[in-house]
Structure 1
Amino acid sequence: MTVRRNAGPGTEAAPGPAVPRGAARRSAEPPGERRARARWLAGAAAVLLLGLVLPALAPQRAAALLGGALYTALLYTVLMAAAPRLGPWTAGGTALAASWAVELFQVSGLPADLGRSSLLSRLVLGTTFDLPDLLGYALGAVVLVAVHQLARRRARRRARRARRFDAPEGK
């Protein structure tokens, strides 16, 4: 017996394919995308941890650049988790633009006011404009785009190699 999706007592069956009773509903998202989201979220957690620890250990000048790079890296990984089909250049450009927008927003003084009463606001928006941060954001975007591009190339190479070895004999 099959039932229509979303059909409940006293309701008409929703249009769409029939689903066998007791069958698990499948997500519209392919399994590879779910795995990619999970990996990007794990990467975001690692970047967040590094962003909270490493700048405190580095010299002051390096800490500013490193903190900015890690801020953009966090935005990049969260963006890729939200939309794993984005290309590296799109994700990098978007993360960089958002980082720069937040930094330029600091010129208004509003983030500093918000930061006085909220630790979360201070962590997300910062408090004061610092020109070298713009360079740190750019470095973070460039490094992540390059690493992501390399990883994609390696994955494509592995897939080609696997197809070559999996091809039926005589071809």
Structure 2
Amino acid sequence: MPSTKILMTRRPALLLAATVVVILGLAIHFFVAGDTASLVADALYTVLVYLVLAFILPKAGRHWMAIAAFAVSALVELAQLTGIPEQLAVGFPPSRLVFGTTFSALDLVAYAVGAVAVYFADSALSRNSGTWRRTQTE
């Protein structure tokens, strides 16, 4: 179980990381053209989901958060097959940034890469910083 001191230092770091990911993702989305940029932005989407989960569920294991982040991202992508996100974007255009509009199987690969990358980054930071360390059960 993480101590209160560790949670007090981890949560602000997660909030800062999430803010950086949002800014970077939006900058890539709006200012960088191309398929590669789109895939990087998709991977960052999953990274953001992971960071939000880590903030909300501080006792959850990294591996479960990575799996959940990928699952949430994949469910949002699969929901695009229904056409509902596209209809939502017509009525509320900013929703396009969260839910997308068109399905792409390649996006699922980007989400997996994002989940793996953030898992290993969090693990490495946890090993190298006592203030970032999570639980001994992972």
Q: What TM-score do the two structures reach when normalised by structure 1?
A: 0.70
Q: Structure 2: which amino acid aligns with 1:46?
A: V
Q: Structure 1: which amino acid aligns with 2:7?
A: E
User: Does residue 94 in structure 1 map to residue 44 in structure 2?
Assistant: no
Q: 1:55 offset after TM fit, Å? A: 3.6
**Cα separation, 2, equivalents of 1:56 and 1:66:** 13
Match of 2:136 in 1: none
Query: What is the percent sequence identity of the aligned residues?
Result: 35
Match of 2:82 in 1: 108
The structure 2 residue matched to 1:140, chosen from 114, 124, 136, is 114
Superposed CA offset, 1:9-48 (max 9, x none): xxxxxxxxxxxxxxxxxxxx82321221111111111100
Q: Structure 2: which amino acid aligns with 1:113?
A: Q
**Could you tell me whether the CA contact under 8 Å between 2:46 and 2:114 is conserved in 1?**
yes
Aligned positions, number = 129
Q: What TM-score do the two structures reach when normalised by structure 2?
A: 0.85
Higher relative contact order (CA 8 A, sep 6+): 2
- Aligned-residue Cα RMSD (Å) equals 1.8
Superposed CA offset, 1:109-162 (max 9, x none): 000000111133211111111111111101100110111111122236xx9xxx
Flag the structure with larger Rg. 1
Q: Structure 2: which amino acid aligns with 1:87?
A: G
The structure 2 residue matched to 1:60, chosen from 29, 34, 42, is 34
Q: Structure 2: which amino acid aligns with 1:77?
A: L
Q: Which runs of 5+ in 2 are unaligned?
A: 134-138
Q: Which runs of 5+ in 1 are unaligned?
A: 1-28, 160-171
Relative to structure 1, the CA distance from residue 57 to residue 120 in structure 2 (aligned partners, 3 Å threshold; closer, same or farther) is: closer
**Cα separation, 2, equivalents of 1:132 and 1:55:** 16
**Cα separation, 2, equivalents of 1:84 and 1:116:** 36
Relative to structure 1, the CA distance from residue 55 to residue 120 in structure 2 (aligned partners, 3 Å threshold; closer, same or farther) is: closer
